[in-house]
């Protein structure tokens, strides 16, 4: 008789949120803080309905991508610091991720603020989830700079709503 032991390791998003908040050095009401992360996560849920998108990577991106910001304005290195932070917590908190999942999370965090588009549905969903949040700083997301079909549609809708509301 064989006994099989299945060890199920899950990602605890609440724990990741707690760790990310502990890292965050800006004011709690920061435009790059928790409120923004939650909105990125919400956008990410919609964008993750696209085939081939890894929803858990998108949710982790939402919580981590801006947690190492050091100012509200430029801080061009914050994406790279977030990617490095993901490496630091991988063995303890992200060990349920496969190498492929981790690579996508790492890449998305590291390059999310470089204005690139990406063909991979998961990395594209991460970028779009963040860019759709540009409205919070008075910027309409551009459909041509979105990576995913859903992201492009959402950006077009936002533009139409803006045009209608300014008539």
Q: How far is the CB of 109 from Fe ion (least distance, A)?
A: 9
CA 22 to each of CA 15, 17, 58: distance values in angstroms, whole numbers, following the listed order: 11, 9, 20
Q: Which is nearer to Fe ion, 35 or 55 (CB)?
A: 35
Measured CA to CA, the distance from residue 164 to residue 161 in angstroms comes to 5
- The answer to the question of residue 66 lying near Fe ion (CB under 5 A) is yes
Kindly give, in sequence order, each residue whose CB lies less than 8 Å from that of residue 110, ignoring residues fewer than 6 positions away.
79, 80, 82, 83
Q: Which is nearer to Fe ion, 41 or 97 (CB)?
A: 41
139 or 163: whose CB is closer to Fe ion? 139
- The residue count for binding Fe ion (CB under 5 A) is 3
Q: Is residue 130 part of the contact set for Fe ion (CB under 5 A)? A: yes
Between residues 48 and 113, which has the closer beta carbon with respect to Fe ion? 113
Q: Which of 59, 113, 122, 148 binds Fe ion (CB under 5 A)?
A: 113
Point out which residues bind Fe ion (CB under 5 A). Answer: 66, 113, 130
């Amino acid at each position: 008789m064989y006994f099989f032991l299945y060890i199920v390791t899950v990602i605890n998003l609440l724990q990741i949120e707690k760790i990310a908040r502990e890292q965050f050095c800006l004011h709690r009401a920061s435009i790059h803080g928790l409120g923004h992360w939650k909105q990125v996560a919400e956008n990410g849920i919609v964008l993750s309905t696209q085939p081939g998108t890894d929803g858990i990577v998108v949710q982790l991106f939402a919580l981590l991508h801006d947690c190492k910001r050091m100012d509200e304005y430029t801080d061009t290195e914050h994406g790279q610091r977030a990617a490095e932070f993901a490496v630091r917590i991988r063995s303890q908190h992200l060990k349920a991720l496969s190498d492929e999942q981790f690579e996508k999370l790492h890449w998305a965090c590291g390059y999310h603020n470089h204005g690139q588009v990406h063909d991979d549905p998961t990395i594209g969903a991460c970028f779009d989830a963040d860019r759709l949040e540009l409205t919070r700083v008075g910027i309409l997301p551009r459909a041509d700079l979105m990576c995913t079909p859903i992201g492009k549609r959402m950006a077009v809708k936002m533009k139409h709503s803006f045009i209608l509301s300014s008539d």
